[in-house]
Amino acid sequence: MTDAPARAQLIKLARTLGVPVEQLAYLAGVPAADLREFRFQVADLLFESQSGGLRKVAAAAKVIPSQVIAKLVGRNRNALLAARMAGVLEPSHAVDVAKRLPVDFLAEVAPLLDARRSAYLIAGLPTDTIVAVGKLLAQQEDWITLGDLMAAVSDDAVRGAQAALDGTALLRAAFLVDDAEHLERMVALVSAAKLVEMLRAAAEHDLWTEYRSTLGGLSDASLEVVRTAVDQLPPEHRDRALAEIADRRPAS
């Protein structure tokens, strides 16, 4: 049986490999930390195998104005090529180009990015763009990319995104956030009302697995914030939410 943190890593590994998560069932029982490390190794191998020629293009692109590149990319609408180019372009140049691209195209590119290499790009986008992309990702139920987005952006952008998204989207995205520090930041920045909405989503949509996994990444201080929100739930949901806190296991 696969625990919740390992399940999250299997979902993300399946995305990296481009296969249904069911094909990775044989990895059930592998610790989440090992699955995460393997996923990073696979992503690095894929990046290195594909980036040789693109680096030459990126070198040439340094002399082309960002507005021209954005027009070419936007007209071509090749999301995969745009994502790969983002990994090799000079950071400030990549951000300048991305700012000029349509929001719906950015939402196509976002799932194809390696979040580790593209965090600077995501963080460099204006808050209103990030919120708009986040809403599109939620509509598409792309919780992996939404989680990566929330982990990479500024505090102001997290506040803007959480105000624009419902509790179900936020909880599903939080489940797929890799680092405990990012979960801590989300709890600190999310409004009290939105946190209650996330807890209601766990109860109403049977997202207790996601809720339990998220709890495992939180400090005692953040758990107190969650407990305060739990107090606002109806009794039939409050008891389950408190029991999950009491039984939580810190992420390994």
Sign of CA dihedral 82, 104, 162, 21: negative
Residue 10 is assigned to a structural domain of this protein: yes
Whole-model pTM: value is 0.81
Is pLDDT larger for residue 91 or for residue 215?
215
Average pLDDT value over all residues in the chain: 86
Question: Does pLDDT of 114 surpass 90?
Answer: no
Residue 204 lies in a domain: no
Q: Into how many domains does the chain fold?
A: 1
> What is the residue range of 44's domain?
1-50
pLDDT, tens digit, 9 for 90 and up, residues 18-70: 899 999 999 988 999 999 999 999 888 877 766 655 566 556 556 566 777 77
For range 77-88, the mean pLDDT: 76
Instruction: Identify whether 23 is part of a domain.
Output: yes
Q: Is the pLDDT of residue 202 over 70?
A: yes
